[in-house]
Amino acid sequence: MNPISSDTDRVVFPLLADPAGYRANTIDLASDPESLRVWLDIFRAHCDSLEPYAAASQGDTEDARRRAAACVARWRIVLDEIEADPMRHGEPNVPRFCTLREGLLREHGFEDAYVTIKAEENAAALRLLPGVLAELDEIGDPDRLLRTHLEHVFAGNIFDLGCAVTTDLFESGDMNFHATVDRLPDRPWLVDDLDALTARFAGAVHRKAIVFVDNAGADVTLGMIPLIRYLLKRGTRVVAAANTAPALNDIIHDEFVDHLGAIAAFDAPIRDALADGRLSLVASGNGIPLIDLTGVSPGLAAASADADLLILEGMGRAIESNYEARFTCDTLKLAMLKEPDVARRLGGGLYDVVCRFEPVA
């Protein structure tokens, strides 16, 4: 079952420069058996945390634990079947594997397998947000302000339960947002277009930004929401796009609406922007941690047509599915690299960061 297949009226994202040549996948597994094995192992390693989070999402009852175990056992069989016969479940690629996994979760009764941990992490990050915003608001130098916002995005993006290494970090309790910011790699980053971005931001303010967000918790709360607020304060309208359907610990649209509502209760820039329409939230139509931009919601497409800035955040959206995609507006791709194979493909290592800015000519 495809968790998003019922959304039959999805449309091509209007900012794609070459829709016909677009592929929502930068990792070729179909013709690379060694990489296929690597990625099947990545998905297998993730099973260890998937099962307890799924069970916890429904109260960790005996029934929930039994279904979570059955789901993960079935998923391991599917992965083995793909290893034996790569075309067995369709063209082998990362987006398809993500879709298969979410489909199995639904079949086993898990509508949103990370709903509990997402709520806990949103609440925990919310407690830190006033202090983070106050620190940002004290930064006077515009170049440093932009860089600090990006550093917060990178640090927040480590908080990801879709990757084995960061899940281990998270569960060991060795995750502290401020310490994570302090431990980020020095510049130049692995992909470092910050100077070009800084120069562009010193010029005319963008009219309207489309911002794709990734994970619940510290990622969206301490990284992306401050970045959105910064854009708003500069005078850019923002449309923030979150997944329609659940996918691991990605924040979904309905959660994002509630979460921003809670932030608006104490933060005037967010409250005012929501009230007067400078900030709007839209469900992307997506239901996996990557995004295929040939199938977004009509609402997102309509909101995007006149945007002049696109921000894709997170390894799945910015790198694995859209790193090579070109757009008709200024585009910023931001990610913390948490999967060794993804980092290797970019010539880097674990916890390197990507700031790729592609201005339109």
Q: How far apart are CA 82 and CA 127, in angstroms?
A: 43
Nearest-angstrom CA–CA distance, 173 and 79? 30
Q: What angle is formed at CA 250 by the lines to CA 247 and CA 252, rounded to 5 degrees?
A: 85
Of residues 42 and 274, the one with the C-beta less far from Mg ion:
42
> CA distances (Å), 117 to each of 81, 124, 170, 261, in order?
31, 10, 11, 19
Q: Which is nearer to Mg ion, 162 or 287 (CB)?
A: 162
Which residues touch 41 (CB under 8 Å, ≥6 apart)?
none
Task: Report how far residue 208's alpha carbon sits from residue 186's, in angstroms, rounded to the nearest whole number.
Answer: 30
* Three-class SS state of 224: helix
Q: Which stretch binds Mg ion (CB under 5 A): 124-132, 141-149, 183-191, 207-215?
A: 207-215
- For the bound state, the minimum distance from the C-beta of residue 157 to Mg ion, rounded and expressed in Å, comes to 8
Question: What is the total residue count of the chain?
Answer: 361
Span from 3-11, 18-26, 248-256, 329-337 in contact with Mg ion (CB under 5 A): 248-256
Count of other CB atoms within 10 angstroms of residue 139: 14
Tokens representing 258? 């509630």
The enclosing H or E element of 209 equals: strand 208-212
**Residue number with CB closer to Mg ion (214 or 292):** 214
Least gap, CB of 218 to Mg ion (angstroms): 12
Nearer to Mg ion, 255 or 267 (CB): 255
* Total of chain residues touching Mg ion, rule CB under 5 A: 5
Q: Which stretch binds Mg ion (CB under 5 A): 66-74, 146-154, 209-217, 328-336?
A: 209-217
Residues 144-163 that bind Mg ion (CB under 5 A): 162
Instruction: Tell me the closest approach of the beta carbon of residue 212 to Mg ion, in angstroms.
Output: 11
Q: Which stretch binds Mg ion (CB under 5 A): 24-32, 184-192, 206-214, 349-357?
A: 206-214
Candidates 214, 255, 339, 352: give the one binding Mg ion (CB under 5 A): 214
Distance CA 325, CA 291 (A): 11
Residue reference for tokens 């996996």: 288
Near Mg ion by CB under 5 A, which window of 74-82, 208-216, 229-237, 296-304? 208-216
Chain CA centroid to CA 177, Å: 17
From the CB of 313, what's the least distance to Mg ion, in Å?
A: 9
Q: Kindly state the smallest distance separating residue 114's Cβ from Mg ion, in Å.
A: 10
Cβ pair 34, 27 in contact under 8 A = no
Minimum gap (Å) between residue 291 Cβ and Mg ion: 11
The nearest distance, CB 152 to Mg ion, in angstroms, is 17
Of the candidates 250, 255, 292, 313, which one interacts with Mg ion according to CB under 5 A?
250
* Closer to Mg ion by Cβ: residue 250 or 352: 250
Compute the distance between CA of residue 215 and CA of residue 243 in angstroms, rounded to an integer: 10
- Residue window 159-188: x/- pattern of binding to Mg ion, with contact defined by CB under 5 A: ---x--------------------------
Nearer to Mg ion, 224 or 332 (CB): 224
Cα(103)–Cα(93) distance, integer angstroms:
15
* Chain center to CA of 22: 20
Q: Which is nearer to Mg ion, 214 or 267 (CB)?
A: 214
Site for Mg ion in 276-315 (CB under 5 A): 289
The span of 33-41, 76-84, 174-182, 212-220 binding Mg ion (CB under 5 A) equals 212-220
Site for Mg ion (CB under 5 A): which residue of 58, 99, 215, 304? 215
Residues 73, 222 contacting (CB under 8 angstroms): no
Q: Which of 111, 243, 223, 95 is nearest to 156 (CA)?
A: 223
The site for Mg ion (CB under 5 A) is made up of: 162, 214-215, 250, 289
